[in-house]
C-alpha cells in the first residue's frame, strides 16, 4: 500500500469542494478505485430533513454501481480538520458489500495522505456475502 494516486487525491478534493453541507459545514469527498482502474467520486449531501442526507462514500458507491462496476480496490476519504475522518459505521458496511477486507482505505486531508488502514481494520469481524454463501455473479 503505497498510498493514493495524485488523480485520486485531486478527484477527492473536487468532490469535497462540491459537497452540499449547509447545516454541518463539514465537507467530505470520497473516491473509489475499481478493479478496472476507473475512479468514482462522491460527496456528502445534507438535507434539512435529518437523517435524509447521504455520506460521500455512499454517493461514490452509487456512482460506481450506476457506472456498471461492483468491485472496489482502493478508497480515499477526504475532509478538513485536525482529527482523522474515517467512514462512518454504515459506510463501512456499504464498502464491505463491494470490497474485500484487505483493501486500503486512505484517510486524507486536502494536503494529502494522513493515514492508511484496511477495511478489515475499520470493520473487524465484518459480515459479508461470503457469510450467505452467495457468489458475486
| Residue 102: active-site member | no
CA distances from 101 to 48, 77, 126 (A): 34, 17, 8
CA distances from 55 to 2, 6, 47, 52 (A): 26, 23, 11, 10
Set 7, 10, 57, 101: catalytic member: 57
Active site residues: 57
Amino acid at each position: 500500500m503505497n498510498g493514493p494516486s495524485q488523480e485520486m487525491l485531486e478527484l477527492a478534493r473536487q468532490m469535497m469542494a462540491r459537497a452540499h453541507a449547509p447545516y454541518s459545514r463539514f465537507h467530505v469527498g470520497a473516491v473509489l478505485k475499481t478493479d478496472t482502474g476507473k475512479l468514482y467520486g462522491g460527496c456528502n449531501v445534507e438535507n434539512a430533513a435529518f437523517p435524509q442526507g447521504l455520506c460521500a462514500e455512499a454517493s461514490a458507491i452509487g456512482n460506481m454501481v450506476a457506472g456498471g462496476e461492483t468491485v472496489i480496490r482502493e478508497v480515499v476519504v477526504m475532509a478538513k480538520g485536525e482529527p482523522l475522518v474515517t467512514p462512518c459505521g454504515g459506510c463501512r458496511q456499504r464498502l464491505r458489500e463491494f470490497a474485500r477486507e484487505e483493501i486500503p482505505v486512505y484517510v486524507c486531508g486536502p494536503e494529502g495522505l494522513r493515514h492508511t488502514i484496511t477495511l478489515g481494520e475499520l470493520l473487524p469481524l465484518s459480515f459479508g456475502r461470503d457469510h450467505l454463501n452467495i457468489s458475486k455473479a
